[in-house]
Amino acid sequence: MTDILIVLLGTTMLYVSAVSRIEAYVKTLAFQGLILFLLVVLGIKEINWLNLAFLIFETLVIKAVVIPYFLLTVIRKNEIGREIEPYISQFYSLLIASGIFIFGFVAAFWSAGTGSGIKPLYFGISIMMIIISLFLIVNRKRIITHILCYMMLENGIFLLSLSVANELPMLVNIGVLLDLFVGIYLFAIFFNKINEIYDGSHVDVLTELKD
């Protein structure tokens, strides 16, 4: 069951590589949070109830509900509909993402042969999510899309942490949660300030900034 969920989590990255509607990114981010919640519940054993409760809160409440709702509010407030023309077309972006997706399975196969105790599929898909997120950040132009891809990258890092340890220390969980709040807070302020000055809210306008 967990293997199916992990592969499904990976396919969400292919989906966002092919779509242009910003709200689709947000819904995908919420869906990823739901899958991570299920992976925590089904995949983590031998964990104290307090740490488990925090992980459930972090994935189900924060990742799947609070952050997507906050970002959706920002998107609708600023009337953002679609991603503007990316540097690489949607078709070629999907091809590149598919190649990275295949690489994730190669990485999983490699990690399975190392005998290091790493969960292979967790490791491979997490690496794939991180690389595709970085690719989308570079390829997309809207600032809000960068924020959303940053959150997907963080989901990949979260999955990577699940691949190397069956129990996440509470301090690490608090650090991840603090990183989420600070990142979203700063990005939202930055985005809203840029949007007040420049119409369009994409990274190309940043070249016009002067002292």
pTM comes to 0.79
Per-residue model confidence as pLDDT tens digits over 115-154: 666 788 888 999 999 999 999 988 887 777 888 888 888 8
The domain tally of the chain equals 1
How many whole angstroms separate alpha carbon 22 and alpha carbon 81?
A: 6
Per-residue model confidence as pLDDT tens digits over 147-197: 888 888 888 888 887 776 554 555 556 666 666 676 666 666 666 655 555
Domain range for 24 is 2-208
Residue 173: its pLDDT value, please? 64
Residue type for position 117: G
How many whole angstroms separate alpha carbon 168 and alpha carbon 27?
A: 27
Per-residue model confidence as pLDDT tens digits over 26-72: 899 999 999 989 988 887 766 677 777 777 888 888 888 888 888 88
Least confident of 15-19, 20-24, 81-85, 179-183: 179-183
